[in-house]
Amino acid sequence: MPYLEVDDLHVGYGQIAALKGVSLSVEKGQLVTLVGANGAGKTTLLRTISGLLRPSRGSVNFDGQRIDAMEAHKIAGTGLVQVPEGRRIFGRLTVSENLELGAFTRNDKAEIMADKERMMTVFPRLKERFRQLAGTLSGGEQQMVATARALMARPKALLMDEPTMGLSPIMVEQVFDTIQTIHAQGVTILLVEQNALMALSVADYGYVLESGHIVLEGQGDALVDDERVRHAYLG
């Protein structure tokens, strides 16, 4: 059984169907990318996996447990953590407090402190801004806070929703470096990205979502070479 498995998922907003039977799976330790145009339903899928939306049909399993009826905070407690679209950091809290909240489900105080220190070495930019309100940081720095906050949970798997949105090319490179580092440390990742070429080239496996359907899937590099993907997403 795959580590994270989405099966025949249907999700709607009122009468509007956003996901119309999506199935995908992520094996333990894999980095899987999901690409798709604006409005394809990528965010809807991640929000449903995380328990913020309820599916009308279908199931989600994670780590041998069915989670599609679980409350969002309990899903986070199982080790499946999301870095949401638009970062959604707590702007009126300090960087340090943001990181502490990331570790909310943990109780090992000393270890949490150590992890906070570790984040400072992973993201040196945050070090000087530790006591600053997170809302005053630049977009790139806020993305670091969002990622670090999620890592503070010591996640088994990460869902990342467009972590490079609105960032400069240099920052985009940095974010991809970070993602690969996290992946190399054994964290399973499901990555949603607009930068389809970059995302697919680092991924083990990729899915293409279109109007609520998975229309294509395959090995990351194979998808990069696929004529249809090139045409639709890579220009």
Partner 1 sequence: MAVQIPEDRLKIARLSRISIVDVLLWALRIGVLGVVIAGTIGTLINGRYGWTQWVDFVVFGLTLGSIYAQIALGYTMVYGVLRLINFAHGDFMMSGAFSAFFVANAFYRSGFLESHPVPALLCILITSMIVSTAVALLAERFAYRPFRRVVGLAPLICAIGVSFFLQQTFRGMFGSSIRAYPDPSWQRATISFLGIEVQAVELLVIGLAVLFMIGLYLIVQYTKMGKAMRAVAEDGDAAALMGIDVDKVVVFTFMLGGAMAGIAGVFYCFVYKQVYFYMGFTPGIKAFGAAVLGGIGSIPGAVLGGFFLGLVESVGPALFLDGLGIPGPYQLRDVIAFTLLIMVLIFRPNGILGERLGKKRA
Ligand X SMILES: Nc1ncnc2c1ncn2[C@@H]1O[C@H](COP(=O)(O)OP(=O)(O)OP(=O)(O)O)[C@@H](O)[C@H]1O
The residues that bridge with 36 in the sheet, in sequence order, are: 209
Identify the residue among 72, 133, 165, 216 touching partner 1 (CB under 8 A).
Answer: 72
Question: What tokens were used for 88?
Answer: 């959604």
Ranges within 134-163 binding partner 1 (CB under 8 A):
149, 153
Binding site residues, ligand X, CB under 6 A = 13, 16, 18, 36, 38-44, 85
CA distance 102 to 122: 16
* Contact stretch for Mg ion (CB under 5 A) within 80-88, 115-123, 178-186, 215-223: 80-88
Per rule CB under 8 A, is residue 82 in the interface with partner 1?
yes
| Contact predicate 21/58, CB 8 Å | yes
| Residue 15-54 contact track with partner 1, rule CB under 8 A, x = bound | -----------------------------------xxx--
Identify the residue among 71, 108, 117, 173 touching partner 1 (CB under 8 A).
Answer: 71
Q: What order of strands is seen across the sheet that includes strand 188-193?
A: 80-83, 157-161, 188-193, 31-36, 205-210, 213-219
Per rule CB under 8 A, is residue 100 in the interface with partner 1?
yes
Per rule CB under 5 A, is residue 43 in the interface with Mg ion?
yes
Q: Which does 104 bind (CB under 5 to 8 A by kind): Mg ion, partner 1, ligand X, none?
A: partner 1
Which helix (H) or strand (E) covers residue 9, if one does?
Answer: strand 4-13
* Rg of the chain on CA atoms, in Å: 17
The residues that bridge with 190 in the sheet, in sequence order, are: 32, 159
The residues that bridge with 17 in the sheet, in sequence order, are: 12
- Contact set with partner 1 (CB under 8 A): 50-52, 71-74, 76-77, 81-82, 84, 86, 88-93, 97, 100-102, 104-105, 149, 153
